[in-house]
Chains A and B, each alone.
Chain A
Amino acid sequence: MTTTAPQLKTPATPRRARRHGVMGSAGLYLATSVAAFLFLVPFYLIVRNALMTDREITGEEWKFFPTDIQWGNITEPFDDTSVDFARSLWNSALVGTLHTVGTLLVCSLAGYGLARIPYRHANKVFYAVLVTLMVPTAVTFVPSFVLVSSLGWVDTYRGLIIPGLFSGFTCFLFRQYFLGFPKELEEAARVDGLGYWGAYWRVVVPNSLNFFAAMATITFISGWNSFLWPLVIGQDPSAWTVQVALSSYMTNQTVNFHLIFMATAISILPLVFVFLFLQRWLVQGIAQTGIKG
Chain B
Amino acid sequence: MSTITRSGVSRPAPAKAPRGRSRRGLRGNPTANFWLFTGPFLIGLALFVYVPIGWSLWLSFFDARFTVTPSEFIGFENYQYMLTNDDFVGSLITFTVFAAFIVPTTWAFSLSLALLVNRLRFMQAFFRSVFFLPTAVSYVAAALIWKMSIFSGVRFGLMNTVLGWFGADGIAWLASPDPPWYWLVLVTVRLWLQAGFFMILFLAALQNIPQELYEAAAIDGAKRGRQTFWYITLPQLRATSTAVILLLLVQAYQAFDEFFNLLSNATWGRPPLVELYYIALGENQDYGAGSAGAMILTLLICVVTLLQGKFLGFGRGDESK
List chain A positions with a Cβ less than 8 A from chain B. 6, 8-17, 19-20, 25, 28-29, 31-32, 35-36, 39-43, 45-46, 49, 57-59, 62, 106-107, 109-110, 112-114, 117-120, 122, 125, 128-130, 132, 134-147, 149-150, 162-163, 165-166, 168, 171, 176, 179, 185, 188-189, 192-198, 200, 202-203, 206-207, 221, 224-225, 227-228, 231-232, 243, 246-247, 249-251, 255, 257, 260-261, 264, 267-268, 271-272, 274-275, 279, 282-283, 286-287, 290-293
Which among B4, B119, B247 is the interface contact of A188 at CB below 8 angstroms? B4
Which chain A positions have C-beta within 8 A of B106?
none
Which residues of chain A are near B224, meaning CB under 8 Å? Answer: 16, 19
**A106–B40 contact, CB under 8 A?**
yes
A227 to chain B, nearest CB (A): 5
Question: In the bound complex, how far is the Cα of B36 from the Cα of A147, in angstroms?
Answer: 26
Bound complex: CA A39 to CA B68 (Å): 46
**Cβ contact of B243, chosen from A9, A122, A147, A293, cutoff 8 A:** A293
CB atoms of A150 and B49 under 8 A apart: no
Question: Taking A110-B37, A134-B305 as contacts, is the C-beta distance between A260 and B148 under 8 angstroms?
Answer: yes
Describe B's contact surface by its main secondary structure.
helix
| Complex Cα spacing A200 to B33, Å | 11
A6 to B204, CA, bound (A): 7
Please determine whether B150 and A42 come into contact, CB atoms closer than 8 angstroms. yes
Contact A117 B256 (CB under 8 A): no
Which residue in A110, A117, A144, A225 is a CB contact (below 8 Å) of B52?
A: A144
Contact B136 A287 (CB under 8 A): no
Not counting A135-B302, A139-B254, a sample of 5 additional A-B residue pairs whose C-beta atoms are within 8 angstroms of each other reads: A113-B38, A227-B139, A228-B257, A243-B140, A282-B135
Contacts of B203 in A (CB 8 A): 8
The answer on a CB contact under 8 Å between A62 and B161 is yes
A residues in contact with B53, CB < 8 Å: 135, 140, 143
Question: Which residues from chain A contact B59 at a C-beta distance below 8 Å?
Answer: 143, 146
User: Taking the nearest CB of chain B, how far is it from the CB of A66, in angstroms?
Assistant: 14
Asked, given contacts A134-B305, A136-B250, A146-B56, whether A35 binds B131 with beta carbons under 8 Å apart, the answer is yes
What is the CA–CA distance of A166 and B251 in the complex, to the nearest angstrom? 20
Cβ-defined contact, B45 with A132, below 8 A: yes
- The 9 lowest CB-CB distance pairs between A and B, nearest first, are A195-B27, A113-B37, A110-B41, A143-B56, A143-B52, A225-B138, A166-B44, A119-B34, A113-B38
- A268 vs B144: C-alpha distance in the bound complex, in angstroms? 12
Contact B161 A247 (CB under 8 A): no
Contact check, B113 vs A35: say whether CB atoms are below 8 A apart. Answer: yes
Residue of A nearest to B133 (CB): A275
The residues in B between 184 and 242 inclusive whose CB is less than 8 angstroms from any CB of A are 192, 196-198, 200-201, 203-204, 207-208, 211, 214-215, 218, 224, 240
B residues less than 8 Å from A166 (CB atoms)? 41, 44-45, 48-49
A14 touches B214 (CB 8 A): yes
Shortest CB distance B321–A (Å): 6
Which residues in A have their C-beta under 8 angstroms from that of B140? 225, 227, 243, 246-247
Q: Chain B interface: which size bin?
A: 35 or more
Supposing A232-B281, A260-B144 touch, asked if A287 and B201 sit within 8 A by C-beta, the answer is yes
- The interface of chain B, by Cβ under 8 A from chain A, is 3-4, 7-8, 11, 16, 19-20, 23, 26-28, 30-31, 33-38, 40-42, 44-45, 47-53, 55-56, 59, 68-69, 113, 116-121, 124-125, 127, 129-150, 154, 156, 158, 161, 192, 196-198, 200-201, 203-204, 207-208, 211, 214-215, 218, 224, 240, 243, 247, 250, 253-254, 256-257, 260-261, 264-265, 273, 276-277, 280-281, 287, 290-291, 293-294, 297-298, 301-302, 305-306, 315, 318-319, 321
Task: Enumerate chain A residues within 8 angstroms of B129, measured Cβ to Cβ.
Answer: 279
Bound state CA distance, A272 and B156, in angstroms? Answer: 28
Query: If A198-B27, A292-B315 touch, does A227 touch B138 (CB 8 Å cutoff)?
Result: yes
Which residue of chain A is the closest to B290 with respect to CB atoms?
A142
12 contacts between A and B (CB under 8 A): A13-B121, A19-B224, A139-B253, A140-B53, A143-B59, A147-B51, A166-B41, A192-B8, A193-B23, A197-B27, A251-B264, A260-B144
Contact call B197/A290, Cβ cutoff below 8 A: yes
B240 to chain A, nearest CB (A): 7
- Residues A9 and B301 in contact, CB atoms below 8 Å apart: no
Query: Contact at B116–A290, with CB atoms within 8 Å?
Result: no
Say whether A142 contacts B121, CB under 8 Å.
no
Instruction: Give the residues in chain B near A197, CB-CB below 8 Å.
Output: 27, 33, 36
Q: Indicate whether A142 sits within 8 Å of B318 (C-beta atoms), given known contacts A42-B150, A119-B30, A166-B48.
A: no
Would you call A113 and B131 a contact (CB within 8 A)? no
Measured in the bound complex, the distance between the Cα atoms of B118 and A10 in whole Å is: 9
For the complex formed, measure the closest distance between the CB of B141 and the CB atoms of chain A, giving whole angstroms: 5
Q: Is the CB of B273 within 8 A of A163?
A: no
Taking a contact as CB atoms closer than 8 A, the residue among A113, A136, A195 that contacts B28 in the complex is A195
Are A221 and B37 touching (Cβ within 8 A)? no
**B131 (CB) vs chain A CBs: closest residue:** A39
* A290–B196 alpha-carbon span in the complex (Å): 12
Given A106-B41, A109-B40, A139-B273; A291-B52 close (CB under 8 Å): no
- Whether A271 and B136, one on each chain, are in contact in the complex, defined by CB atoms closer than 8 angstroms, is yes
Instruction: Tell which of A10, A20, A196 touches B27, judged by Cβ atoms closer than 8 Å.
Output: A196
Pick from A13, A31, A144, A193 the residue with the most CB of B within 10 Å: A193
Q: Are A132 and B49 in contact (CB under 8 A)?
A: yes
From A105, which residue of chain B is reached at the shortest CB distance? B40
Decide: A193 near B33, CB < 8 A? Known: A45-B145, A203-B4, A249-B144.
Answer: no
Shortest Cβ distance from A292 into B: residue: B318
A117 to chain B, nearest CB (A): 4
